[in-house]
Chains A and B, each alone.
Chain A
Amino acid sequence: SSLTPSTAYTYRFTGSPSKELSDINQMIRQGGV
């Protein structure tokens, strides 16, 4: 898996606020811009 942490968004089950998932969804929608 070519994960380069500096350009990866993370979320932790039960630990992270829902907002972090909203940020991920926004990043995906913008095609990673």
Chain B
Amino acid sequence: AQECEDLKAERQRRQERIKQKQSQLQELIVQQIAFKNLVQRNREVEQQSKRSPSANTIIQLPFIIINTSKKTIIDCSISNDKFEYLFNFDSMFEIHDDVEVLKRLGLALGLESGRCSAEQMKIATSLVSKALQPYVTEMAQGSVN
């Protein structure tokens, strides 16, 4: 009976670890699909407009966005070599990474929330390796950790 209890605890620990690893894998799948979609979108836009956007209108990945209200007073100190910045805010802010921006632009095809159309699922599975397609199908059908 004691061995039985120990094995139950071991099984519980493994199930939790697997759940966490599935969640991390799903996050990486979303990241790869969103990134590939972004590259595809920009290439198509440039081909259609037959020109590249000017450098001061784009933000190159990787980046983060610090988002705050317009009333916030921001004090910024910069080292001479621009290797170090110190920002002081007098009000709250939020920080988001580039993957979050791509999700909000719809480039993750709704996978992050498990709401995917059949067409989007088809595109998503075409952007990952065969071994990952079952995971994408699962996510598209709503089982997102």
Contacts and interface: CB of A to CB of B under 8 A. Distances in A.
A28 interface: yes
A25 B95 contact: yes
A17 B64 contact: no
B64 A21 contact: yes
Nearest to A31: B92
A16 to B, nearest CB: 8
Contact of B97 (A18, A29, A31): A18
Interface in B66-102: 77, 86, 92-97, 99-100
B143 interface: no
Contacts, number: 28
B67 to A, nearest CB: 9
Contact of A13 (B62, B86, B100): B62
Contacts of A18: 27, 96-97, 99-100
Given A25-B94, A28-B93, A14 B62 contact: yes
5 contacts: A11-B64, A14-B62, A18-B100, A25-B94, A31-B92
Interface of B: 24, 27, 62, 64, 77, 86, 92-97, 99-100
Interface of A: 1, 11, 13-14, 17-19, 21, 24-25, 28-29, 31
